[in-house]
Every structure is written in C-alpha cells, then in structure tokens.
A and B are shown apart, each in its own frame.
Chain A
Amino acid sequence: MDRTVSDTPRLAARLIEGEPAALARAISLVESDTPAAIDILRAIRPHLGHAVVVGFTGPPGVGKSTLVNTYIAELRKRGKSVGVVAVDPSSPITGGAVLGDRIRMAEHTLDQGVFIRSLASRGALGGLSASAAQVADLMDAAGRDVVILETVGTGQSEVEMAMIADVRVVISAPGMGDDVQAIKAGILEIADILVVNKADQPLALQTCQQLKAMLGLRDLTRRSVPVLCTDAINRTGVGDLADAVEAVAGRVKQRENRSAVAGRTRHLLAQAVAKAAETHVMQSRTQTIAAIVQGIQEARLSLSEGARQVLNNLGGEGHDG
C-alpha cells in the first residue's frame, strides 16, 4: 500500500496545533516508514520536550492495561492531557495482530483529552515496536502533557522501554508463582517505580515484601525505588502512583542531557540496523547469502563470522533484498 502525502508541512502544522486526526495520520506515516515521515519528524523537533513519557511494563496478565486505564483517570483529574501508545504483539508468521489493549480503556474513548493509539510490535523484540519512540515524540509535539507507553507483556528484557521513557514503571502481581523471579533478572534494574497490582489478593503483601527485600540487596549508592501496591479495578493506590511518577519526572527533567539523547538515538539506530540485516538475510535470493548459510551449516563458518560477512555484504549490495 503505497501512500503518498500531498501536503506534509500542513499535516505537521495541524499536528502541532494538537489536531487528533493529524496526529493519527502522522503516526501511521511514521510507523510505516514512508518518505513523508522524516519531514514530519524534522518539523516537530522544535516542539519536543513538553511531555513526560511514562513506560508501563511487566509480565502478561498483571493488569497493565487496567492500571493504565485507572492512571489515565487520575491524570485527567489532575488536569493533564494524555497520549497512550499501547503495543500488542504481531504474529511472527503472518504479521497480523489483534490489538485489544484499549478494550480496558474504553471509558476514555470520548474524552478529547485522551488519545490512545494501538501499535502492533511488527516483529520488534523487547516489548515495543520500532517506531514507538517516534510515536511518543509525535504525541509530545501534539501537546500531550503525559505520554504513556504500554509494552507487550513479555515479562523480561523491556530495555527498549528504558531507553525511551522518562519514568519506568514495572508492574507485577501476586499469586503468579515465579513472577518475582521473572522480573528480577531482566527489568528490575530499569525500574524507577515498582508496582504490585491486584493488591486485593491475599499474597499481595508478601509479593511487596519480596520486592522490597530484593531491592535491599542492591548497591546502596543507587537511587531508591518505591514499591507501591495498587488495585487498578477498585482504583486504589493510583494517586500514590501518580505522585511517585511526578517525583521521578521532576528528577529526570533536571538531569536531562544531550548524551542521554544521543545514546538513545544510537540504540534506536542499532535496532534499525539489526532489523534491516534480518530482512536482508531472510529475503535475499543472492548467491552470497546462500553461501554464508551453507558455510554455517557445514561448520566452516561460525555464526559471528557469518554475521560479519553479511554486514560486509549489506554495505556492498544492500539494495537487492
């Protein structure tokens, strides 16, 4: 589906004015990596930095979408406009997706102060889609006070979110067996705030204490991470969560610096390179790639040496993929 844009500067201007239809359209263009996307991203640059970007991540079923829904309501009570980027997985086989996060956020559908967009992960690992950072930027430029990023519930290695969000909220729930184990290795390190949702359940306090104990084992020079209990369905604890987010956001804005932004860009570039290389290897019909694959199969080449050869090949004839 080749979509060309007749009037990109006007679309960008309407987005900056905050027009929802323009924001929606710009997100599609950026997500699809169309030529117009780069023009829009350039046009919005002077309008970035207003929003606080809050990431919500955690294992499947802990109540991320429900907590986001309740958190939106709290933000609206505090007079903030909200943008939500909700990511669900794409099928690795067909590329298709059913995007259902916003089912839990239906109460905000008709609120002009809330703009929710569902994104499919489109093959990206790490819980977000490749364009999530840019989509967050678009919402920022459109004047949203708070942008919420909700990741795919993969439970671990949501380091992507850590690179994009100003405030990282990691959500857990009681009674999920080893879920404390599941979050401690990968994403505990990135959390600014830990939340135990479903606090009405019997084991909630125990889970909270386990998390606090685990935090107690960390290097004492690191900043403290609050552990909060929420019950998203009954809407308790969400005011505390909003306060905690504001406190972290205040700290972040102070230490915001260019090297962090450059680091983030470098990370996004590395991701894009990996994606391009993957597409090249999977779709290329050239002899060169076939020979590398065969070399690995016959144990003449190591995987890392094969990868090096692919990257060299990309540089030389990257347009045949």
Chain B
Amino acid sequence: MALTATIPARVLVTKIGLDGHDRGSRIVAAYLRDAGMEVIYTEPWQKIESVVALALQEDVDVIGISSLATDHLLVPKLMKALDGAGLGHIRVIVGGIVPDDEEAVLLKSGVSRVFHPGADRADIVDVVARLARDAGANRPDG
C-alpha cells in the first residue's frame, strides 16, 4: 500500500544474571532508537524465562544481551529456552566483555554476533537491522 510507512524493527535490550552494569545497554538502546527502531528496554537482573516471556509478548526480531561480568555464559541456556518456546527465529546478539574463547562458545550456541568494547555505532545498527530482516523472513507463522 502506497501510504504505509516501513515497519520498524523491534529489539529487546536486556541483561541476564546478577550483573547490574547497565550503562552499555542504555547506550545501545539509544543508538537503536535513533536509528528508527522500537526498543523494549528492561532493568538488569532478568531471569532466562523472563527474557523468553518478554520476547514472546513483545514479538521482537532481535534480542541484545549486554554482559560485563561473565553472565554471557548464561546465553547458551537462553538460546535453548528460546528454541523450546518456538522463538528460534529471533536473532540474539551479545555485547560487552567476552573473552575470545568464550565468544566461540556463544557463536556455536546460535548467537549471531558478539560486540566488544569500542564497537562501532554504525556497525551495531547495520547488524541489528540485517538480523531483524532475517528474523522476519524466518518466522514460523509469517
């Protein structure tokens, strides 16, 4: 329809586990907002099952997990939980302090991309936009 604008990507930006350092997640949320995306933002300290419930209710395309104190090691569990809830189409990225050998573990568990300190704003935005399109194309029910 000629008069319909494009649909904004929907992204959940959150933190799991016990790490409360949320400066990074706030900055990324603002980057994505300023790139025209709709960002669902939560407080830190989310449980895995809460992230799954949030992603389901909000019908997001991408989940961004910020981790600065080893909680990224919970992400493989999140990947399994998303799959189990029928949300395997959702793309997950991780940003923060992630050692190289553990990055490999995350990628192997299905994480699409890991961003490290100093990551470029334009790169983050481009990757999230692309992943959102991928997610949309892979939805089980359209």
Q: Please report A residues at the B interface, Cβ cutoff 8 Å.
A: 1, 3-8, 10-11, 20-22, 24-25, 27-29, 32-33, 36, 90-91, 94-100, 102-103, 106, 109-110, 115-118, 120, 122, 276, 279-280, 318-321
- Whether A118 touches B7, Cβ cut-off 8 Å, given contacts A1-B136, A5-B142, A24-B56, is no
- Which of B27-35, B64-72, B94-102, B116-124 sits within the interface? B27-35
A265 to chain B, nearest CB (A): 19
Of B2, B3, B29, B34, most A-chain CB atoms within 10 Å: B3
Q: Are B36 and A279 in contact (CB under 8 A)?
A: no
On chain B, the residues within 8 Å of A91 by CB distance are: 33-34, 36
> How many angstroms from the CA of A22 to the CA of B142 in the assembled complex?
11
Compute how far the CA of A33 lies from the CA of B1 in the bound complex, rounded to whole angstroms.
Answer: 9
Q: Tell me the bound Cα distance from A115 to B2 in angstroms.
A: 33
Report A130 CB to chain B, min CB distance, Å: 11
Q: Are B57 and A20 in contact (CB under 8 A)?
A: yes
Q: Apart from A102-B54, A103-B41, A279-B5, what are 5 other A-B pairs with CB-CB below 8 Å?
A: A1-B136, A27-B59, A97-B39, A110-B50, A120-B38
Docked Cα-Cα span, A287 to B136, in Å, equals 37
Distance in angstroms between the alpha carbons of A318 and B59 in the assembled complex: 32
Work out how many contacts link A and B, with CB atoms closer than 8 A: 115
B83 within 8 A of A: no
A109–B33 touching, CB < 8 Å: no
CB distance from A93 to the nearest CB of B (A): 9
CB of B43 closer than 8 Å to a CB of A = yes
B141 A6 Cβ-Cβ under 8 A: yes
> Which single member of B1, B7, B59 contacts A1 (CB below 8 Å)?
B7
Q: B107 in the interface, Cβ–Cβ < 8 Å?
A: no
Hey, which chain A residues are within 8 Å of B42, CB to CB? 102-103, 106
Candidates B36, B132, B139; contact of A94 at CB < 8 Å: B36
**Do A110 and B59 have beta carbons less than 8 Å apart?**
no
User: What is the minimal beta-carbon distance from B138 to any residue of chain A, in angstroms?
Assistant: 11
In angstroms, Cα B32 to Cα A3, docked, is 21
With A117-B57, A279-B5, A320-B2 known to touch, is A96 a contact of B50 (CB < 8 Å)? no
For A319, the closest partner residue in chain B by CB is B2
Chain A neighbourhood of B5, CB < 8 A: 95, 279
* A96 contact set on B, CB distance < 8 A: 8, 32-39
* Contacting residues, chain A, for B133 (C-beta < 8 A): 1
Q: Is B126 close to A, CB under 8 A? A: no
CA distance A106 to B40 in the complex (A): 13
Q: Which residues of B contact A (CB under 8 A)?
A: 1-10, 29-30, 32-43, 47, 49-50, 53-54, 56-59, 85-87, 132-133, 136, 139, 141-142
Task: For A111, give the chain B residue with the smallest CB separation.
Answer: B53
Smallest distance from the beta carbon of B26 to chain A beta carbons, Å? 9
Give 4 closest A-B pairs by Cβ, nearest first: A5-B142, A96-B33, A24-B59, A95-B36
Contacts of B35 in A (CB 8 A): 94, 96
Q: Are B141 and A7 in contact (CB under 8 A)?
A: yes
CB closest chain-B residue, reference A117: B57
Bound complex: CA A82 to CA B32 (Å): 30
Tell me, rounded to whole Å, the shortest Cβ–Cβ distance linking B121 to chain A.
Answer: 14
Cβ-closest chain B residue relative to A120: B38
A-B contact pairs, 10 of them (CB 8 A): A6-B142, A21-B87, A22-B141, A33-B4, A90-B38, A91-B34, A94-B34, A95-B8, A120-B38, A321-B2
- Chain B contacts of A279 at CB under 8 A? 3, 5
In the complex, the answer to whether B139 meets A1 with C-beta atoms within 8 Å is no
Closest to A33 in B: B4
B58 touches A118 (CB 8 A): yes
With A4-B142, A7-B142, A100-B41 already in contact, the answer to whether A24 and B34 are too (CB < 8 A) is no
Check A318/B2 contact, CB under 8 A, given A4-B142, A21-B86, A98-B30. yes
Contact between chains at A321 and B3 (CB < 8 Å)? yes
> Contact: A99 with B2, CB < 8 Å?
no
A279 to chain B, nearest CB (A): 5
Contacts of A21 in B (CB 8 A): 56, 85-87
Residues of B within 8 A of A103 (CB): 41-43
Chain A residues, Cβ within 8 Å of B39 = 96-99
A11 to B8, CA, bound (A): 22
Alpha-carbon distance A109/B2, docked complex (angstroms): 38
